[in-house]
Amino acid sequence: MGHVKSDTLDVGGPVRVAEYGGDGPLILLVHGLGGSIENWDVAGPLLTASGRVVAVDLIGFGDSEPRDRRPSVDDNAGLVAEVIQLLGHDRATLVGNSMGGLVSMITAVEHAQRVGRLVLVNPALPVSRLRPPDFEVLTKLIGPLVPGIGVPAFRVYRAAHSPEEETAETLRMITADPNTVPVWARKLLTEANRRRRGHDWAIPAFLEADRSIARYVLRPRRFSRMIHKIGAPTLLIHGSKDRLVSVDSARWAATERPDWTYEEMDDVGHVPMLEVADKFAAMVNGWLEAAR
């Protein structure tokens, strides 16, 4: 399993992309905060029945060094639009998880001509008043945003935890059951963590991206205005046991956009494409097939 090959595009700096195979329309996979191409290595090959499947490392993540570029969600939306063109396609189906879902939504608004369809997988959404994130999640996502705390806190954490421990702790937070993630995929995620520690730009990029997400999810009215501008047919998938983005937030989005297809996955956390890849891919492939 995993990607067939990876390559580096030049989009004002290096951008790593990975090919999973498949022919036909482009399906571009967009990872979440702190993620990378490796987040898609389980599900990517299973989506090739629906088209040419490619994943991208956003600016400031994986091996896409920022240089003079900003790792904000808005700048990464511009990057996604350019990557679609550089891959030789007029438009793509965007499959975005978490922050990648927000990046995909912004792309669908600001670069609508590049987006044919949207698949939002536990996307970043406004914080639910019914069920706010739990204390551990709030500490890890909001704590680093406090001025002067973020970079030192990350460095202290990494000094005290091995890449293997960091992966295990992350999976415990983002999955309903870490054991649902294949062992080989956990190893690839750990190697990505290990590489990230060698990038001096990784922590500042994470923090800047996190701040840019907050500017959307902490402003429900702004978010509502944005999603009502999306014209692309959209499939919204959400795990019922997501600790980062409450399922109540997904239900709110589905109510705001009743024309979207909404699928709730029972006993699944924040990353269905890692936890229940077969079921997730069948859902996406089925929706794309019905659309055709």
- pTM score > 0.75 for this model? yes
Q: In the prediction, which pLDDT does 127 show?
A: 84
Q: In the prediction, which pLDDT does 15 show?
A: 97
Q: In the prediction, which pLDDT does 53 show?
A: 98
132 φ/ψ sector (left φ>0, alpha ψ -120 to 50, else beta): beta
| pLDDT tops 80 at residue 144 | no
Tell me how many domains the chain contains.
1
Q: In the prediction, which pLDDT does 121 show?
A: 98
**Type of residue numbered 142:** I
What share of the chain in percent tops pLDDT 70?
91
Mean per-residue pLDDT over the chain, rounded = 92
Q: In the prediction, which pLDDT does 258 show?
A: 98
Residue range(s) defining the domain that contains residue 171:
5-291
| pLDDT tops 90 at residue 288 | yes
Contact 253, 236 (CB under 8 A): yes
What is the spatial distance between Cα 47 and Cα 72, in angstroms, rounded to a whole number? 28
What is the spatial distance between Cα 248 and Cα 233, in angstroms, rounded to a whole number? 22
Band of residue 292 on the pLDDT scale cut at 50, 70, 90:
confident
| pLDDT tops 80 at residue 236 | yes
| pLDDT tops 80 at residue 134 | no
| pLDDT tops 90 at residue 82 | yes
Q: In the prediction, which pLDDT does 128 show?
A: 74
Q: In the prediction, which pLDDT does 264 show?
A: 98
| pLDDT tops 70 at residue 27 | yes
Q: In the prediction, which pLDDT does 17 show?
A: 98
Mean pLDDT value across residues 100-114: 98
Q: In the prediction, which pLDDT does 148 show?
A: 63
Cα angle 166, 6, 120 (rounded to 5 degrees) comes to 65
| pLDDT tops 70 at residue 283 | yes
DSSP string, the chain: ---SEEEEEESSSEEEEEEEE--SSEEEEE--TT--GGGGTTTGGGGGGGSEEEEE--TTSTT---TTS--SHHHHHHHHHHHHHHTT-S-EEEEEETHHHHHHHHHHHHTGGGEEEEEEES---PPPSSSPPPHHHHHHHHGGGSTTTHHHHHHHHHHHS-HHHHHHHHHHHH-S-GGGS-HHHHHHHHHHHHHHTT-TTHHHHHHHHHHHHHHHHT-HHHHHHHHTT--S-EEEEEETT-SSS-HHHHHHHHHH-TTSEEEEETT--S-HHHHSHHHHHHHHHHHHHHH-
Q: Which residues pair with 95 in a beta bridge?
A: 29, 119
Q: In the prediction, which pLDDT does 132 show?
A: 67
| Least confidently predicted of 3-12, 14-23, 168-177, 272-281 | 3-12
Mean pLDDT value across residues 235-251: 95
Mean pLDDT value across residues 114-143: 81
Band of residue 79 on the pLDDT scale cut at 50, 70, 90:
very high
The CATH number that applies at residue 239 is 3.40.50.1820
| pLDDT tops 80 at residue 131 | no
Mean pLDDT value across residues 151-158: 71
pLDDT digits over 34-65, tens only?
999 999 999 999 999 999 999 999 999 999 99
